[in-house]
């Protein structure tokens, strides 16, 4: 009897499907994604694995000529049942396996989403926020997962290789897997050239051992070679946006770039072109929830970020950095630095978060209006510099922020001429920044760091020490500054969240109630920050990032020709991901201008629609520290609400923005400390 694999731990008893094991075989641990077998080939082989699973469930039978329905009863599996229902409802004549593979391949993206999500839920895969996957630590360490009879089963790639190279007798399921892998020409990617040549007869023998595997494997090969109904699309001319129409737009006057992009999306659709003055050749803008979802799924193949970061990196003598990398190199660096940006790292240092936050809040005195953006920026800069780079940079932070703002506008957004970075004032600020970086390095010698928790700089230096060719000394300066750059974004994000909270007294009172409960018996530990205990404050931050996203757009270049929503985009096209345009659409967020934190609670869960809520960016460059940010912002909101009653001045103030280099409240945003509720 075939041994059915099951996941371990809390998901024990859930079957690991053949389609899921195929995904595990094709996963490339170095790139964090699938082996390069071609998009249509991958779609066909995933479709073939779904049909094979239906055959193993005795719902269909197939040979080289026909595919026959045996039982139309549902399996209870959302991966299999839609395909089964379509087969059951199909009118005569009876079709063969190739027909159904090509039919099913058209929904392979949805199938792959289900497969990957389930493997993560079963603790077989880990998922990185940038859309990368890797084997979980448990599977990587043991090379096994559990079978339904309590025995252990070798990781599927090991089983396949042993069946081919060591001539072990394979399980019937593994025979089908080998047939599918061979059908999409992936075996040369798993074996060396010599191994593949020496094993060719063995592979042919294995592929003939099972009738279902032979039939479906042959159908996959036929579909790849000459698909009966592979979709062919016609492209349309890209509309050109008339920016003169924006002159009377109130969002333009307020500097609300995210809402401007929404207005343009409503008028011109998901793909449109903006000509000068934004660049010499103009840019193509991609917007809308469906486009966001497409980029998240396919962007790694078509877009790169390198072009927009090169000049910025050179200011620090760097050539290869996390935000400027793409592909396998980018994934490797994300894996190496992941712990430095993780929520777990922040949770381990909660005492310091409270300490630094309170030190800043003690300066907030009841009475006169305070500049909201500056106060929140100082709060975040102190915390980020201490927690991420291990030094107090408060005496350098103004110079750093000024230099970073100017350099981002000049070298990334290309909105200022390059000589603007050569002024005497910028030269002085640059000198002070490098003085600060030397302080950071001097504070991270083995003796200075002994007994201290690892911070981001420790992880950066460890990566350099482990592989100085991959990450040389010349690239250190930029990455050391990265923590300070993050404080710019966090300062703006906290400002928007405080504005949203203080502008809605009824919500403010709910946050205060949460804070009183959490801090009633002293400072809470990491286990006290449950989903329910910080629910309201967390949703305040989520809603503030919907209405007032700090990074409303991203710049990319197409490295391969692509067709998006029916529009042809050639290689080397400068592209803008207007991802946050989806935040202000009635169809994604009803009554979109309203600050409504209940959008994020069941049963509404409006943010869970694919491509609808994307404040941390799209694709492989999705913010690596998003979970850290959500927790840090929530803690700061809770502490502010715990210690103060705050009101926006004037009470009817409507947020205005400084849109470049990132979106931030302008200097007119002010609030008053009406009352201090607790002593420090």
Q: Which residue matches tokens 């599996």?
A: 77
Domain residue spans of the chain: 9-225, 253-583+590-600+607-676
**Is residue 341 within 8 Å of 625, Cβ to Cβ?**
yes
**Is residue 291 within 8 Å of 270, Cβ to Cβ?**
yes
Measured distance CA(575)–CA(578) in Å, rounded: 9
**Is residue 73 within 8 Å of 64, Cβ to Cβ?**
no
**Is residue 101 within 8 Å of 62, Cβ to Cβ?**
no
The predicted pLDDT at position 122 comes to 87
Q: What is the rounded end-to-end Cα distance, in angstroms, of the chain?
A: 68
Assign residue 198 a region: left if phi > 0, alpha if psi is -120 to 50, beta otherwise?
alpha
> Regarding beta strands 60-62 and 33-34, do their DSSP bridges make them parallel or antiparallel, or are they unpaired?
unpaired
Give the count of beta carbons closer than 10 Å to the beta carbon of residue 670: 18
The predicted pLDDT at position 466 comes to 95
Q: Percentage of the chain surpassing pLDDT 70?
A: 94
Which residues of the chain fall below pLDDT 50?
Answer: 1-14, 148, 228-232
The per-residue pLDDT for range 63-96, each reduced to its tens digit, is 878 899 999 999 999 999 999 999 999 998 889 8
The per-residue pLDDT for range 24-76, each reduced to its tens digit, is 999 998 889 988 887 788 888 899 999 999 999 999 998 878 899 999 999 99
Domain 253-583+590-600+607-676 CATH assignment equals 1.10.630.10: yes
Phi first, then psi: what are they for 15, rounded to 5°? Answer: -65, 140
Q: What are 199-207's contacts with CB under 8 Å, separation 24+?
A: 199/164, 199/165, 202/164, 202/167, 203/164, 203/178, 206/163, 206/164, 206/170, 206/175, 206/178, 206/179, 207/175, 207/178, 207/179, 207/182
Chain centroid offset of residue 294 CA: 13
Instruction: Give me the CATH code for the 9-225 domain, please.
Output: 1.10.3630.10
The predicted pLDDT at position 208 comes to 87
Tell me 656's DSSP state. Answer: -
**Is residue 485 within 8 Å of 404, Cβ to Cβ?**
yes
């Amino acid at each position: 009897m075939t041994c059915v694999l099951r996941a371990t731990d809390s998901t024990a008893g859930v079957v690991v499907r053949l389609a899921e094991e195929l995904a595990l075989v094709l996963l490339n641990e170095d790139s964090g994604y699938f082996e390069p077998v071609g998009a249509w080939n991958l779609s066909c082989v995933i479709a073939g694995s779904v049909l094979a699973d239906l055959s193993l469930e005795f719902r269909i039978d197939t040979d080289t000529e026909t595919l026959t329905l045996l039982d139309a009863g549902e399996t209870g599996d959302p991966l299999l049942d839609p395909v089964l229902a379509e087969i059951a409802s199909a009118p005569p004549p009876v079709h063969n396996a190739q027909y159904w593979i090509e039919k099913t391949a058209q929904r392979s993206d949805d199938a792959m989403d289900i497969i990957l999500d389930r493997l993560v839920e079963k603790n077989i895969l880990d998922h990185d926020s940038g859309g990368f996957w890797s084997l979980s630590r448990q599977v990587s360490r043991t090379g096994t997962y559990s079978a339904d009879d309590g025995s252990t089963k070798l990781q599927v790639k090991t089983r396949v290789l042993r069946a081919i190279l060591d001539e072990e007798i394979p399980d019937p399921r593994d025979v089908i897997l080998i047939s599918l892998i061979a059908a999409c020409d992936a075996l040369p990617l798993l074996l060396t050239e010599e191994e593949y040549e020496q094993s060719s007869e063995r592979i042919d023998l294995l592929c003939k051992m099972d009738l279902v595997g032979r039939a479906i494997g042959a159908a996959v090969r036929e579909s790849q070679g000459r698909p009966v109904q592979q979709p062919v699309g016609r492209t349309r001319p890209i509309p050109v946006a008339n920016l003169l129409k924006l002159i009377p737009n109130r969002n333009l006057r307020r500097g609300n770039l995210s809402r401007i992009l929404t207005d343009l999306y409503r008028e011109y659709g998901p793909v449109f072109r903006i000509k000068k003055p934004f660049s010499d050749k103009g840019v193509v803008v991609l917007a809308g929830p469906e486009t966001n979802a497409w980029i998240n799924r396919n962007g790694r193949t078509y877009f790169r970020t390198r072009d927009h970061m090169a000049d910025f990196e050179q200011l620090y003598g760097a050539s290869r950095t996390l935000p400027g990398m793409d592909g396998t190199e980018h994934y490797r660096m994300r894996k190496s630095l992941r712990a430095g940006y993780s929520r777990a790292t922040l949770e381990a240092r909660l005492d310091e978060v409270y300490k630094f936050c309170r030190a800043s809040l003690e300066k907030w005195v009841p009475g006169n209006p305070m500049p909201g953006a500056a106060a929140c920026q100082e709060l975040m800069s102190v915390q980020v510099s201490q927690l991420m780079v291990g030094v107090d940079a408060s005496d350098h932070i103004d110079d750093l922020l000024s230099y970073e703002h100017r350099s981002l506008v000049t070298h990334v957004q290309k909105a200022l001429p390059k000589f603007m970075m050569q002024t005497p004032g910028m030269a002085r600020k640059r000198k002070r920044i490098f003085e600060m970086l030397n302080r950071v390095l001097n504070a991270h010698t083995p003796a200075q760091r002994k007994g201290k928790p690892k911070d981001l700089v420790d992880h950066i230096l460890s990566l350099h020490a482990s592989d100085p060719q991959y990450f040389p000394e010349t690239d250190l300066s930029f990455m050391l500054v990265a923590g300070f750059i993050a404080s710019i974004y966090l300062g703006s994000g906290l400002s928007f969240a405080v504005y949203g909270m203080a502008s809605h007294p009824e919500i403010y009172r709910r946050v205060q109630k949460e804070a009183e409960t959490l801090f009633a018996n002293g400072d809470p530990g990491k286990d006290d920050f449950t989903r329910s205990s910080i629910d309201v404050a967390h949703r305040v931050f989520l809603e503030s990032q919907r209405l007032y996203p700090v990074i409303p757009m991203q710049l990319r270049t197409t490295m391969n020709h692509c067709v998006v929503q029916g529009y042809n985009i050639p290689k080397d096209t400068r592209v803008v991901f207007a991802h946050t345009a989806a935040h202000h659409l009635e169809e994604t967020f009803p009554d979109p201008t309203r600050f409504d934190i209940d959008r994020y609670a069941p049963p509404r869960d409006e943010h869970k629609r694919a491509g609808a809520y994307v404040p941390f960016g799209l694709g492989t460059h999705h913010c690596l520290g998003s979970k850290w940010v959500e927790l840090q912002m929530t803690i700061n909101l809770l502490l502010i609400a715990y210690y103060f009653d705050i009101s926006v001045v004037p009470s009817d103030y409507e947020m205005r923005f400084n849109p470049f280099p990132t979106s931030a409240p302008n200097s007119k945003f002010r609030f008053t400390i009406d009352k201090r509720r607790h002593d420090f």
